[in-house]
Amino acid sequence: MTKEDKQRVIGKVVAINSDRFSVELLSGLDNFNVSGFDDIHYFAQLNSYVIVPYQNYYIVAEVAGVREKDLNVPFSNPTDQILSKIQAGKFLEVLPIGTIKTNKENEFNFEFGVSVYPTLYSDVLYIKEQELDTIFKTNKVKERSCQDKQECKDGNCQCRDKYTSLPIGKSTIFPDYDVKIDIDKFFGSHSAVLGNTGSGKSCTIASMLQTLYKFDEYSATGSTFIFFDVNGEYRQAFEKVKENNDNIDVRNFTIDEVDENDNSIEKFILPHWFLDIDEWALLLKASEKSQLPILRNALALAVLFESGATNTVKNHILASCITQILRDETSSPSKKDRIKSILQKFNTNEINLSINCNGSTFHNGVATVNCTIENCLFIHFGEMRGIQHLHDYLEQRTDEGDFLFLSNNFYLPSYQSNQKFDFKLLENALDLAILYEEAHGNRQIRDYCSSLITRFKSVKERDDFNFLTENKSNVEELEYLYQFLGLDDPLISCAKKSQVIIIDLNSANDETVEVISCVLSRLIFEKLKTAKHRNTFPVNLVLEEAHRYISTDSGKVFGDANRVFERIAKEGRKYGMFLLVSSQRPSELSRTVLSQCSNFIVHRIQNPEDLSHIRQITPHISETILRRLPSIPTQHALIFGHAVNLPTTFKVNEADPKPKSDNNEVSKNWFKEKDFEIDL
């Protein structure tokens, strides 16, 4: 211990437990302060720090409690014990949180966690500014950002500095110190912003990015933040970003109708053929046992008949379904209507309403030759007179004795996403898939799939699904993805154009939000996985009100949507895809997603279930720290994780402008003149 250290001793360690020390203060420190060379140091404030020198490093401890204990000294006057505390011993309860060590360059570094404890009666010192600088990382803010250009390789690097840390607020204990996060460790891993409604979550996220984009020396033009803005808050928060920094651009999308004269916001669309089979099952609530196979076949049929596939497969499907209709017990008019409906939507050169059957049937009671399938369906006195000729045509054989249209060794091609087809065609494809299953003996399948058909009709007719069901024949997947990655048209330049992409889902219900977030996240994830230069294009998804669509309850309607985000949470780091999860109900969030978060910014949380959940997912955080959560004021938060040296309570920087999430001024809106007018 140096001479300077000896001059700032405030007490001795008198008790050591696995998670805390007891420190007895020296006599004469009645006011819990000491005059140092630089300032007057007050060392007994809760959540402040003291240090314990041990071997060649310092143990940093947080003050968790202050108490006193009367010493065994006789008093001449019984009232002295009550009125005077001069003879009382003063104690601090401190929690060890980390160590300060010197590196090879003789620089101080702070490391979270303590593995070696001090001995009994070790000296305890008040903390000084140099050590606070080390803890709060106020020294190293920038470093050279080499772009690996030719001049860099030649030793003439002229690249500018890049920022390594981002100030997000002021320490509540040490107001002169900015609380900074390590940019790589916060935005380069999954993080969570948690807190009750109105505690300031959206303002925290907005202020962080507003601060990031105020860096003008070397703008974060390579960043990509995609907001699933379920409350319509963030468009207002980022409307002035372009004014503050010309290098940064914000792009806004909405599922609502767009004013043609408003160029600041674009209509959001999602081509339905981008959905994979699991996402179709989510959309249509298809049960796994019976409805999912039918849905898979229907999608394959829709793609098959929309594409230029060979007629062999199509003929087999049509022949199987029509013969099944001809065999069932419904009336002839019903059979005619069903067959005509199918052949109007699905047909080939060999099987269609106008094809010549090369047989004879009756038309108005008169025998005709070389009639068409449509003539075979003619109803005469309630009976389909040409039914046998239609059977013969569909079941005709080749010279080798094989069926011409029907086949015993047939397998329907599997459905693959990104194959275009008309959304309305799927309704008939579902009927065709059910008929095809009935042709193989499953007589109850139509009853099992009734809810699937009803759900499809509902989606088709609802206006809030127009973003999905409207025809988008010219949209290609790569072009579609590039607009959400902030890139220019791939046919032009692929240049980075936008950094913040906001999808306004304020008017969307939960199922719509889940479909959009699930599909778009999967498409981006798959694109980053196959990128030529892996993990060089970071994408951050901001999941606002994440408990609505990343639920821990698998019994919810869209519970399976968790799989996409859980996969991103577990594998996204390898490809440069990161989640920023914002929620007021952490107990309802997917445990897998939350457990993969490396950083937490926690605002006020009072619900016992949510507090218990945070305790379970953050076992390295002490109970003392978590006890602060119910009493944190608005615009204050507790941050802990890999991006900061130690858990810190801080006041969040002001967001300017704020997101559209202000509290209602009830008294202002209540007390007004009678019969005042209001426009809703």
Q: How many CB atoms lie within 10 A of CB 651?
A: 16
Query: Could you tell me if 652 and 550 lie in one domain?
Result: yes
Dist CA 191 CA 573 (whole Å): 12
Instruction: Provide the angle, in degrees to the nearest 10, between the axes of the packed helices 510-529 and 277-284.
Output: 170
Classify strands 250-254 and 500-504 as parallel, antiparallel or unpaired.
parallel
Residue 434 falls inside a structural domain: yes
Query: Could you tell me if 202 and 310 lie in one domain?
Result: no
- Return the DSSP state at 412: P
Query: For the segment 574-600, what is each residue's pLDDT rounded down to a tens digit?
Result: 999 999 999 998 888 888 898 899 999
CATH number at residue 511: 3.40.50.300
Domain that includes residue 58, residue range = 3-136
Query: For the segment 360-388, what is each residue's pLDDT rounded down to a tens digit?
Result: 444 444 445 557 888 888 887 778 877 88
Residue 163 falls inside a structural domain: no
Angle CA 399–400–405, to nearest 5: 80
Contact 331, 387 (CB under 8 A): no
Mean pLDDT, residues 174-193: 90
Supply the pTM of this predicted model.
0.83
Query: Could you tell me if 247 and 285 lie in one domain?
Result: no
Residue 673 falls inside a structural domain: no
Residue 161 falls inside a structural domain: no
**pLDDT band of 568, cuts 50, 70, 90:** very high
Domain count, the chain: 3
Handedness of CA 623, 628, 629, 635 (dihedral sign): negative
According to DSSP, the residues that pair with 102 across neighbouring strands are 108
Q: How many CB atoms lie within 10 A of CB 630?
A: 13
**pLDDT band of 186, cuts 50, 70, 90:** very high
Q: How many CB atoms lie within 10 A of CB 176?
A: 10
Q: Does 406 or 450 have the greater pLDDT score?
A: 450
Q: Does 468 or 89 have the greater pLDDT score?
A: 468
DSSP run (H or E) holding 390: helix 387-394
- Return the DSSP state at 621: S
Percent of the chain topping pLDDT 90 = 29
Residue 156 falls inside a structural domain: no
Residue 110, both tokens: 């702070």
Q: How many CB atoms lie within 10 A of CB 638?
A: 23
Residue 159 falls inside a structural domain: no
Query: Could you tell me if 403 and 338 lie in one domain?
Result: yes
Query: Could you tell me if 436 and 486 lie in one domain?
Result: no
What is the number of alpha carbons within 13 Å of residue 442 lying toward its C-beta? 17
Residue 680 falls inside a structural domain: no
Query: Could you tell me if 461 and 563 lie in one domain?
Result: no
The closest alpha carbon to 48, from 118, 101, 124, 127, belongs to 127
Instruction: Provide the angle, in degrees to the nearest 10, between the axes of the packed helices 291-306 and 425-438.
Output: 120
Query: Could you tell me if 455 and 488 lie in one domain?
Result: no
Mean pLDDT, residues 77-105: 71
Query: Could you tell me if 260 and 377 lie in one domain?
Result: no
Residue type, 390: L
* Residue 451: burial class (beta carbons within 10 Å; 0-12, 13-18, 19+): middle
